[in-house]
Amino acid sequence: MTLHASYDPSNIFNKILRGEMPSVKVFEDDVALAFMDVFPQVEGHTLVIPKDVAARNFLDMPENKLGDYMLRVQKVARAVEATLKPDGLRVMQFNGAPAGQTVYHLHFHILPIFDGVKVGAHASGGMKSAADLEPIAAKIRASF
Ligand code: AMP
């Protein structure tokens, strides 16, 4: 059901893009915005969203904007890796509620993975404050 629907501009990530909701940003340009996930599955869990598109998911993304956006996803993934030096890096993206999507504005998750460190459940667990997230965000920001 939710895989195909019209874009709802009141979604929380669009509110962040419009400056109506706060976020702890690590990167922003004319194509994309990256910020810390407030329910991080691991320390350093970062999200990258495209600007100026009404794309609920990967399937909706206009082809002529996809390449530029994916370059930003890679750029942020590289900055997370350079900052935190994880053993692995998980880049993931969900389409539709049955696949695990909870916010309907396209986004990629970037998760630094460390040997022996458990990855928390998706979109659950404790909510982090801006003060909690800012120290690691500042380090990632400095890697660009
Ligand atoms: P998904 O389930 O793939 O749609 O991912 C949505 C992600 O957004 C989840 O990992 C949530 O923890 C995260 N999230 C929800 N609200 C916010 C918010 N206001 N700021 C940052 N991350 C959020």
Given this model, what pLDDT does residue 1 score?
52
Q: How far is the CA of 122 from the centre of ligand 1 (A)?
A: 9
Q: Average per-residue pLDDT in the chain?
A: 96
Q: Strand runs (DSSP E) across the chain, as ranges?
A: 25-28, 32-36, 46-50, 88-92, 108-113
Residue 6 lies in a domain: no
pLDDT of 46 > 60? The answer is: yes
> Ligand 1 — pocket residues by CB below 6 A?
12, 21, 23, 37-39, 47, 94, 100-103, 123
Ligand 1 atom with the smallest distance to the CA of 107 is 3
Given this model, what pLDDT does residue 124 score?
79
Confidence category of residue 2, pLDDT binned at 50, 70, 90 = confident
| Rg of the chain (C-alpha set) | 14
Residue 2 lies in a domain: no
Residue 101 lies in a domain: yes
Residue 40 lies in a domain: yes
- CATH code, domain carrying 49: 3.30.428.10
Residue 107 annotated among the catalytic residues of the structure: yes
Q: How far is the CA of 36 from the centre of ligand 1 (A)?
A: 9
Residue 7 lies in a domain: no
Overall number of domains in the chain: 1
Confidence category of residue 23, pLDDT binned at 50, 70, 90 = very high
Decide: pTM greater than 0.95.
Answer: yes
Q: Show the domain range for 116.
A: 12-141
pLDDT of 125 > 80? The answer is: no
pLDDT tens, residue by residue, 56-114: 999 999 999 999 999 999 999 999 999 999 999 999 999 999 999 999 999 999 999 99
Q: How many CB atoms lie within 10 A of CB 76?
A: 25
